[in-house]
Amino acid sequence: MSSFDEDEAFAAAVPLSQRAMAARPAPYLDELNPAQREAVEALEGPVLMLAGAGTGKTKALTARIAHLLNSGKARPNEILAVTFTNKAAREMKLRVARLLGMELEGMPWLGTFHAICVKLLRRHAELVDLKSNFTILDTDDQIRLLKQLIAAANIDEKRWPARHLAQVIDNWKNRAWTPENVPTAEAGAFDNKGVALYRAYQARLRTLNAVDFGDLLLHVVTIFQRHEDVLAQYQRWFRFILVDEYQDTNVAQYLWLRLLAGAHQNICCVGDDDQSIYGWRGAEVGNILRFEKDFPGATVIRLEQNYRSTAHILAAASGVIEANKGRLGKTLWTAADGGEKVRLIGHWDGEEEARWIGEELEAMGQGTRGLAPLGLDQCAILVRASHQMRAFEDRFLTIGLPYRVIGGPRFYERMEIRDAMAYFRLAVSPEDDLAFERIVNTPKRGLGDKAQQKIQIAARTNGVSLVEGAKILLAAKGLTGKGAKALGTLLDGLERWHRAVVGTAPPLPDDDDVLDDGLFAAPEPGVTAGPQVSHIELAQTILEESGYTAYWQNDKSPEAPGRLENLKELVKALENFENLQGFLEHVSLIMDNETDDGEPKVTLMTLHGAKGLEFPAVFLPGWEDGLFPNQRAMDETGLKGLEEERRLAYVGITRAERLCTISFAANRRIFGQWQSALPSRFIDELPEENVDVLTPPGLYGGGYGAAATAQPVRSDLHDQASRADVYNSPGWKRMQARSQSRGMSQPRESRNVTIDLDAVSSFGLGDRVFHQKFGYGAVTAIEGDKLEIAFDKAGVKKVVAKFVVPADSAGDVPF
Ligand code: ATP
Ligand code: MG
């Protein structure tokens, strides 16, 4: 056939509407290089983009979605696009909209594996013996449940902790093993009782109408495997599948994708084997390396130009990753100029490292180092372990430098929030026994251990939930007096709130309209809807009628006002959701806690959390052996663990666009203990020619003496003797040797240490204080010169004592 005939044949086969769509301009294609364009335009069949960091994989994937929509190949709800975090999903949606220059009307299936699986599971819950209003357990609930099962099996929880069992079960779920198909090789797990406990746990979850995180995928994979018709339906619906960060998929996720793509094979995966960093959570880098086998005839596209970083940064990252044996190996180049070399600096201790970075951040804002001024929001500090964040948080609070923690302790993990959420969960799903256990005697209702035991027994003997068990118990007069009355009131409340929830739930989707945004709550048979109230009013009512709000109002502890503020904040958060259930789901799925008041802030997050992101300036502190590479990772998985740590180093360096600063400390206080440390072995793997070694402030060259008197030195552990020990420590010596070999000036003699007595706090527990930035609060804990303060408005924070004044003298201080 001549090409003319082919065109004719194409024209005849393609409907006019689609041809008209195809003729629409596609400006987003002009922003791509030829290889990216190929990946975007090869819409049919399997495509793999396997390429290094910053080469535009995510950009191409986003353009591909835009192209699918723009060319009329797919409607928004026919595209299944999987990203690694909710934040990445939001970002991708925004970018597609921007590329197309229009509002995107829903992309219901663009999200994380978990978020998408929740929707799927709600539709088909009955196929795995759940109801569609199942609860998603958080780690705390999961552990509590496992503890009960361990106790029931007469196992000593001290020797065999619930957390360990949680990990074992999670691993199995990541491999898509149900209790029935855990291989015999695993039979020895958890003192030979792992499999039996796993079975009991799953059974218990079913009676609770609950799932854990791992179940979301496992159940959906099970449904797809057992119900061909359901799978076939989704294979037809999800006509195009796109996956970012494919190198970090685990077996369950991989199976899920293969099942869905099995029929049409329109799957486009992008990733980088060098950035596989979730092996410890079951990710298998083999998935990406096997792609061409799994999907024969796949178009494989390699991208080599890095658009993110300057040449020195890229070369430094490449130098480090080259030490890994198990990799494909890739060439990366950048058209950007050399730029700044990667900066390397060694510090005396972790506090000094934090102090220095704080100063750098402030200086950068004024445009130092020949770079245009960098705002705080253009800078990130990426740490290996979240406990490293404390030093930075303390420092930044002290100097008033705005920062945000991504993926750190979250609002929703606070006690009062979790209590309130337990009430909400019960209102949505009365069989949520874990929630019931949490609140049955909170606030105190005279329902102590004995009464709770009776409820448990009544529930168990009748094979019903705790709420039902409690009703039976009351009816049989098994409980009397004050406790019985209080329980009766609680049960009445729960019933009322549940009716109200059913009244506020959105209607069930039609069978032929199942592709809309699939969050729905099915009313249970026999429950009639109550009067229509908004879920916000309902939440407030629940907190009041249950006595929970009053409980904190009557509490005289310094934390109480802050907790009440938080409860208000919680109710406020509901405004962004259609109903309680949508909100509960959101909370179980959130992975980041960004608050945005518009003020530029430096980002503080873990290296793992930073995957896929980019920042003009990146600080990589704590490069010390044991901390990074992480000792536990190396102990547990040896060379494999070390290589994964090295990939993490590669991810870290390649987040930087223009300025990358690596630092380490000779001493660090970890979990209350001072430890001297050796600089990370990854530092020696950095190519010399791409690194600038900086002189630490004060320690080398001038200026130290002044700093020593100006800076308070901790009085608790850090006395002269321990400091002298540290000077003799191998870590310090190695650091000295390195600085000499790299041409740094010699450290001075051991410095004089002065102890700043002012730094010891003169405040007492419970004192009311005032802080310039956070306002009024009460001291809840004291550690040396640091105070933990429950601020009335800003919540609990740690602040250095000299930055607060007694509340009653606040007016006298010229802030
Ligand atoms: P990672 O491996 O870190 O996830 P990636 O390969 O997904 O990186 P992107 O985040 O898509 O890379 O792109 C990195 C940067 O390069 C982004 O700022 C992006 O806008 C830019 N970029 C990508 N492709 C091009 C291009 N063809 N022309 C100009 N800039 C590009
Ligand atoms: Mg990316």
pLDDT in tens, 446-467: 998 899 999 999 999 999 999 9
pLDDT band at 20 (very low <50, low <70, confident <90, very high): low
Q: What is the 3-state secondary structure (H, E, C) of 603-665?
A: EEEECHHHCCCCEEEEEECCCECEECCEHHHHHHHHHHHHHHHHHHHHHHHCCEEEEEEEEEE
* Percentage, residues of the chain above pLDDT 70: 80
472/462 Cα distance (integer angstroms)? 9
pLDDT (average), residues 588-607: 69
The yes-or-no answer to whether 135-208 and 342-410+600-718 have a common fold is no
pLDDT of residue 222: 97
Q: How many angstroms is it from 56 CA to the middle of ligand 2?
A: 7
| 513: number of Cβ within 10 Å | 8
- Is there a catalytic annotation at residue 244? yes
Q: How far apart are CA 12 and CA 9, in angstroms?
A: 5
Give residue-wise pLDDT tens across range 303-359: 999 999 999 999 999 999 999 987 888 888 999 888 899 999 999 988 899 999 999
Class of domain 342-410+600-718: alpha beta
625 CA distance to ligand 2 centroid (A)?
28
Query: Has residue 755 got a pLDDT over 70?
Result: no
- pLDDT tens digits, one per residue of 51-70: 999 999 999 999 999 999 99
Structure confidence at residue 511 as a pLDDT band (50, 70, 90): very low
Query: pLDDT higher for 376 or 532?
Result: 376
53 lines ligand 1 (CB under 6 A): yes
The 10 Å Cβ neighbour count of residue 66 is: 22
Q: Which residues of 595-606 are buried (b: 16+ CB within 10 A; e: fewer)?
A: eeeeeebbbbbb
Respond yes or no: is residue 640 known to be catalytic.
Answer: no
User: Residues with Cβ within 5 Å of ion ligand 2?
Assistant: 57-58, 612
pLDDT tier for residue 184 given thresholds of 50, 70 and 90: very high
Report whether pLDDT(136) > 70: yes
More confident residue, 105 or 310: 310
Give the whole-number percent of the chain exceeding pLDDT 90.
52
- Return d(Cα 482, Cα 469) in angstroms, integer: 18
Give the Cα separation of 162 and 120 in Å (integer): 29
| 44 in catalytic set | no
Judge if the beta carbon of residue 59 lies within 6 A of ligand 1: yes
pLDDT in tens, 143-169: 889 999 999 999 998 888 888 899 999
pLDDT of residue 13: 57
The whole-angstrom separation of Cα 178 and Cα 456 is 28
Q: Which of 93, 327, 425, 655 is catalytic?
A: 655
Return the pLDDT at 356: 95
Instruction: Name the average pLDDT for the chain.
Output: 81
Domain spans in the chain, listed from the N-terminal domain onward: 3-119+221-305, 135-208, 342-410+600-718, 413-588, 756-812
Relative to beta strand 47-50, strand 342-349 is unpaired
User: Rounded CA gap, 432 and 654, in Å?
Assistant: 45
Test site for ligand 1: of 32, 307, 313, 382, most ligand atoms within 8 A of the Cβ: 307
* Assigned CATH for 413-588: 1.10.486.10
Structure tokens given for 504: 């506020």
Q: Whose CA is nearest to atom 2 of ligand 1?
A: 53
Please give the number of the atom of ligand 1 that sits closest to the Cα of 51: 6
> Residue range 506-522: average pLDDT?
34
| Cβ of 273 less than 6 Å from ligand 1 | no
Of 75-89, 676-690, 755-769, 778-792, the poorest mean pLDDT is in 755-769
275 is catalytic: yes
User: Does 307 sit in the ligand 1 pocket, CB within 6 Å?
Assistant: yes
pLDDT exceeds cutoff 60 at 708 = no
Q: Which residue has the tokens 């001291």?
A: 779
Q: Which of 279-288, 560-569, 580-589, 739-748 has the lowest mean pLDDT?
A: 739-748
Q: Which helix (H) or strand (E) holds 25?
A: none
Ligand 1 within 6 A of 56 CB? yes
Residue 774 DSSP symbol: T
Using CA positions, which residue lies closest to atom 18 of ligand 1? 308
Residue 593 near residue 519, CB atoms below 8 Å:
no
| 58: annotated active-site residue | yes
The closest residue, in CA terms, to atom 24 on ligand 1 is: 56
Q: Which residue bears the tokens 């026994």?
A: 433
* CA–CA–CA angle 353, 358, 359 (5° rounding): 100
CATH architecture type of domain 3-119+221-305: 3-Layer(aba) Sandwich (3.40)
Q: Is the pLDDT of residue 528 over 50?
A: no
Q: How far is the CA of 279 from the centre of ligand 1 (A)?
A: 25
Q: By the 8 A CB rule, do 238 and 78 touch?
A: yes
Is residue 531 packed enough to be buried (19+ CB in 10 Å), middle (13-18) or exposed (0-12)? exposed
Q: Is 668 helix (H, G, I), strand (E, B) or coil?
A: strand
Task: With a cut of 90, say whether residue 8 has pLDDT above it.
Answer: no
Cis peptide before 443 (omega within 30 of 0): yes
pLDDT tier at 796 (50, 70, 90 boundaries)?
confident
pLDDT at residue 29 in the model: 92
Confidence of residue 589 (pLDDT cuts 50, 70, 90): low
pLDDT in tens, 220-230: 999 999 999 99
For ligand 1, atom 25, which residue shows the shortest CA distance? 56
Fold of 135-208: Arc Repressor Mutant, subunit A (1.10.10)
User: What pLDDT does 4 receive?
Assistant: 41
Confidence of residue 711 (pLDDT cuts 50, 70, 90): very low
Tell me phi and psi for residue 565, to 5 degrees: -60, -45
Q: Give Cβ neighbours of residue 296 (< 8 Å, ≥ 6 apart).
A: none
CA of 251 to the centre of ligand 1 (A): 28
Identify the residue with better confidence: 441 or 585.
Answer: 441
C-alpha of 762 from chain center:
38
pLDDT, position 730: 47
Spacing, Cα 221 to ligand 2 middle (Å): 26
Residue with the larger pLDDT of the pair 307 and 564: 307
Contacts of 488 (CB under 8 A, 6+ apart): 474
CA angle 18, 19, 21 (to 5 degrees): 65
- Per-residue pLDDT averaged across 276-302, rounded? 90
Is the pLDDT higher at 222 or at 815? 222
**pTM score above 0.85:** no
Phi, psi of 80 (to 5 degrees): -105, 115
Q: Which of 59, 608, 618 to mutate to test the pocket of ligand 1 (most atoms within 8 A of CB)?
A: 59
Classified as helix, coil or strand, 267 is strand
- Average pLDDT estimate for 83-90: 86
Model confidence at 732: pLDDT above 50 = no
Fold topology of 756-812: SH3 type barrels. (2.30.30)
Cα–ligand 1 centroid distance for 32 (angstroms): 10
235 confidence band (pLDDT: 50, 70, 90): very high
Number of Cβ within 10 Å of residue 21's Cβ equals: 15
